[in-house]
Amino acid sequence: MTLAWRFARTVLGFGALAVATVLLAPLVGATAIDFRRAFDFSIPFADNVDAQIFFVARLPRTLAGACVGGLFAASGVVFQGLLRNPLATPFTLGVSTGAALGAVLAITFNWSLGFIGISAVPVAAFVGSLVAVAIVYALAQARHRGLSTTVLLLAGVTMNAFFSAMILFVQYFASFADTYRTLRWLMGDLDVSSYEPLLAALPTATVAFVVFAWLARPLNLLSLGPDSAESRGLDVARAQRAAFLSASLATGAAVSIGGPIGFVGIIIPHLVRLMVGPDHRLVLPAATLFGAAFLVGCDLIARTILAPVELPVGIITALLGGPFFLWLLIRKP
Amino acid sequence: MLTASDLWFGYDERTPVLRGVSLTVPADGLVGILGPNGSGKTTLLRMLAGTRRPQRGAVALDGAPLTGFSRAALARRMAVVPQETQLAFDYTVAEVAMMGRYPHLGAFEIEGPRDIAVIDESLAATGTLQLKDRPYATLSGGEKQRVVIAAALAQIFRLKAEATGTDSRGFRLQAEEASSYLLLDEPTASLDLGYQLEIADLLKRLHAERRAAIVISTHDLTLAATLCERLVLVRDGAVLADGLTDEVLTPENLRKAYDVEAEVTRHASGHRLVVPMRRTAPGRPQDRATDKHG
């Protein structure tokens, strides 16, 4: 079976799953709505309650879930390929903890960007992730020509610990209300009720996915090790830089929308590899689409399992992801 | 012709790994780079392949300096087989061989029927076609090495224009360019006797049938003696001797390179035979494992 055919089958299969999930998820919730009525455009929108709930109340959240899920899953694939380590996650290199520190600062010090009409928290989170990326990148670059993946890992783990300490430090002085908000943010939540956060993340996400598409074959080669990849004609340093920066940006964008929702970036790449094999030209599109469907599904569970209480989706992914991760560790190769 | 002139290189400033190495590999040569552990063989191979640049001196391919080639153009003429290849993910044999086609395809291009044909031929030439759909990780050491050699062949060869399906002896590949080079780093170091012979036979056959130059770095005297036409003997990053295998493989040279008293004889089969007798001096302080450096 040729690669072109496998690619088409993969994209169509996982694409259908993602589209179906995104269309069906908004129908389910505290108030039951009718799919046909929601899409019946002969009724004026102002009179069509079903359409209002579908498009205004629930679709932004669903799309946010799809966007965040796809970004986390794809950047998980890229980080695993870059570090040649199947247990790497989008959070391994400190991007999300940097974002968390930004968010915590914005919440605690009540930063506001009211004058341009958006909340300061996602912006601060994104800036925080950029700061973390810059520090880790500079460290990994400092003593080596090209990137040292070992230094990248060590620097990332260290920055994770350092930013966590900063978060605790800020928390120590925060009010109870702010601490509560911070905790909720850290759980990872898709409580999105407008299209603005999505539009804000769109440029970054687009750039990241274009780079990901180019990275598919270089990531295959990196799997051989840097020396072999170089002798096959790959500019290894450039590929590593592109992988690190694009995956970090994608993670930063996703975290700024949904907070640090864990485990999507590791469960999905592994499930996808079990289904389509390790070729990144199949794994990347499949993981993006499956990640989107998965997170929308998890959010559906989070919204309905204890209704009318809406759980943060991060709790659901972690409850599913923890045992999965352990199974991964003890699984026979 | 691949020419290295006066190569100097060190991974850090104080300890040069190569100190003025010059050598020539003819376009149809089968050359061994022979020397003890830590003598700079792997580094030298990296310089020849252009994946690392010398700090002084230059490597030239048919007279043109390697620095003038794009990475892909160079990769279409020179393939490197490392000592060992461990994959981060569970690719199949066919997928590993496919990676050899990287420098032949555009950024978003996928392998076409001709690429698949080259891969099949390369796997057939190394006797691994029947393993095509097996996961690479499940192969034995010798099988893995042969699959990586197949990927290297797929990198520098293309199908002959006049190729037909009737020629089953595996002559359907030809070098991509006028002169192509296969560089192997200790190809048998981690293999047991049977696999060592298998790889040596394979290299001999590839060289005879396919008109590509082969350069092997090795510390294995027997492999060098039975396989190579020419030898370059190195120690501590400098060339001790360079010439036909018979001229280089003398007790005098071996003593200088390895500090070992050895006899060189011929076995009844016609094979050259190196019989190590004893060490002439205690271990040298320079005897560090720079071979694995980097």
Predicted confidence at residue B168, as pLDDT, reads: 42
Q: Which H/E stretch holds residue B74?
A: helix B71-75
Interchain contact, A279 vs B91, CB within 8 Å: yes
CA distances from B239 to A283, B12, B43, B96, B244 (A): 48, 21, 14, 35, 14
Identify the three-state secondary structure at position B63.
coil
Per the DSSP assignment, residues forming a β-bridge with B233 are B34, B241
Compute the nearest-CA separation of B168 from chain A (Å).
24
Closest CA to B231 of B26, B4, B13, B30: B30
Residues of B in contact with A233 (CB under 8 A): 71-72, 74-76, 102-103
Q: What is the chain A residue with the closest CA to B86?
A: A224
- Rounded percentage of chain A residues whose pLDDT exceeds 90: 42
* Mutation for testing the A interface, residue in B77, B85, B89 having most A CBs under 10 Å: B89
Return the CA Rg of chain B.
19
Domain ranges of chain A: 3-330
Interchain contact, A85 vs B79, CB within 8 Å: no
Q: What is the chain A residue with the closest CA to B42?
A: A227
Per the DSSP assignment, residues forming a β-bridge with B7 are B21
Q: How far apart are CA A79 and CA A64, in angstroms?
A: 22
CA dihedral of residues B101, B106, B110, B112 (deg, nearest 10): -70
Predicted TM-score (pTM) of the model is 0.89
Compute the nearest-CA separation of A278 from chain B (Å).
6
Residues of A in contact with B78 (CB under 8 A): 231
Q: What is the chain A residue with the closest CA to B81?
A: A228
Q: Which H/E stretch holds residue B118?
A: helix B113-125
Place of tokens 């004889």: B265
Contact between residue B58 and residue B65 where contact means Cβ atoms under 8 Å apart: yes
What letters, b where the CB count within 10 A reaches 16 and e where it falls short, cover B92-129? Answer: bbbbbbbbbbbbbbeeeebbeeebbebbbbbbbbbbbb
Interchain contact, B82 vs A85, CB within 8 Å: no
Q: Which H/E stretch holds residue B279?
A: strand B272-279
Interchain contact, B82 vs A234, CB within 8 Å: no
Per the DSSP assignment, residues forming a β-bridge with A329 are none
Residues of B in contact with A211 (CB under 8 A): none
Q: Give yes or no for residue A296 having a pLDDT over 80.
A: yes
Interchain contact, B110 vs A3, CB within 8 Å: yes
CA distances from A12 to A18, A19, A143, A214, B217 (A): 10, 10, 45, 20, 48
Q: Which H/E stretch holds residue B48?
A: helix B41-49
Interchain contact, B102 vs A221, CB within 8 Å: yes
Closest residue to B51, CB basis, from A4, A217, A231: A231
Q: How far apart are CA B133 and CA A1, in angstroms?
A: 12
Cα distance from N-terminal residue to C-terminal residue, chain A: 25
Compute the nearest-CA separation of B88 from chain A (Å).
5
Both tokens assigned to A197: 């956060």
Name the CATH architecture for the domain at B78-176: 3-Layer(aba) Sandwich (3.40)
Compute the nearest-CA separation of B128 from chain A (Å).
19
Kindly list the averaged pLDDT for each block of 10 residues, start to end, along chain B of length 294: 91 85 90 89 91 91 91 92 90 94 88 88 90 93 91 85 48 64 88 83 83 87 87 91 89 87 82 83 52 43
Identify the three-state secondary structure at position B64.
strand
Q: In the predicted model, what is the mean pLDDT of residues A81-86?
A: 90
Report yes or no: B75 at the A interface, CB cutoff 8 Å: yes
* Mutation for testing the B interface, residue in A7, A212, A232 having most B CBs under 10 Å: A232
Compute the nearest-CA separation of B153 from chain A (Å).
11
Q: In the predicted model, what is the mean pLDDT of residues A40-59?
A: 83
CA distances from B49 to B65, B71, B81, B187 (A): 12, 10, 11, 16
Contact between residue A73 and residue A294 where contact means Cβ atoms under 8 Å apart: yes
Both tokens assigned to B98: 């496919």
Crossing angle of helices A196-222 and A280-304, in 10° steps, is 140
Interacting residues of A243 by C-beta distance below 8 A, sequence separation 6+:
A78, A79, A81, A82, A215, A218, A219, A222
* Mean pLDDT score across all residues of chain A: 88
Predicted confidence at residue A294, as pLDDT, reads: 95
Q: Note whether ipTM > 0.90 here.
A: no
Q: Does domain B1-71+213-294 have CATH number 3.40.50.450?
A: no
What letters, b where the CB count within 10 A reaches 16 and e where it falls short, cover A88-107? Answer: bbbbbbbbbbbbbbbbbbbb
Residues of A in contact with B88 (CB under 8 A): 80-81, 84-86, 222-223
Both tokens assigned to B147: 């699959």
Q: What is the chain B residue with the closest CA to A236?
A: B51
Q: What is the chain A residue with the closest CA to B69?
A: A233
Angle of CA points A125, A130, A131, to nearest 5°: 95
Predicted confidence at residue B167, as pLDDT, reads: 45
Closest residue to B103, CB basis, from A7, A214, A233: A233
Angle of CA points A172, A178, A181, to nearest 5°: 120
Contact between residue B272 and residue B264 where contact means Cβ atoms under 8 Å apart: yes
Class of residue A24 by CB neighbours under 10 A (exposed 0-12, middle 13-18, buried 19+): middle
- Rounded percentage of chain A residues whose pLDDT exceeds 70: 96
Report yes or no: B10 at the A interface, CB cutoff 8 Å: no
Interchain contact, A227 vs B46, CB within 8 Å: yes
Both tokens assigned to A329: 């560790």
Q: What is the chain A residue with the closest CA to B78?
A: A231
Greatest CA separation for chain A:
65
Q: How far apart are CA A89 and CA A329, in angstroms?
A: 14
Residues of A in contact with B105 (CB under 8 A): 217
Both tokens assigned to B158: 């293309």
Predicted confidence at residue A144, as pLDDT, reads: 62
Interface A-B, measured as beta-carbon pairs within 8 A, has a size of 83
Closest CA to A184 of A93, A319, A313: A313
Residues of A in contact with B46 (CB under 8 A): 227
The residues of chain B that CATH labels 3.40.50.300 are 1-71+213-294, 78-176
Centroid of chain to Cα B98: 19
Contact between residue B17 and residue B210 where contact means Cβ atoms under 8 Å apart: no
Q: Where are the alpha helices (DSSP H) in chain A?
A: 3-24, 35-38, 49-52, 59-83, 95-108, 120-142, 149-172, 176-187, 196-222, 226-231, 236-258, 264-276, 280-304, 313-330
Interchain contact, A214 vs B46, CB within 8 Å: no
Beta-strand pair B181-185/B213-218: parallel
Residues of B in contact with A235 (CB under 8 A): 71
CATH number assigned to the domain with residue range A3-330, chosen from the 4 options 3.50.50.60, 1.10.3470.10, 1.20.1270.10, 1.10.260.40: 1.10.3470.10
Predicted confidence at residue B166, as pLDDT, reads: 45
Report yes or no: B261 at the A interface, CB cutoff 8 Å: no
**Residue range A226-268, pLDDT digits in tens:** 889 999 999 999 999 999 999 999 999 999 888 889 889 999 9
Q: Which H/E stretch holds residue B9?
A: strand B2-9
Predicted confidence at residue A333, as pLDDT, reads: 56
CA distances from A270 to A80, A158, A293 (A): 10, 26, 15
More confidently predicted of B159 and A92: A92
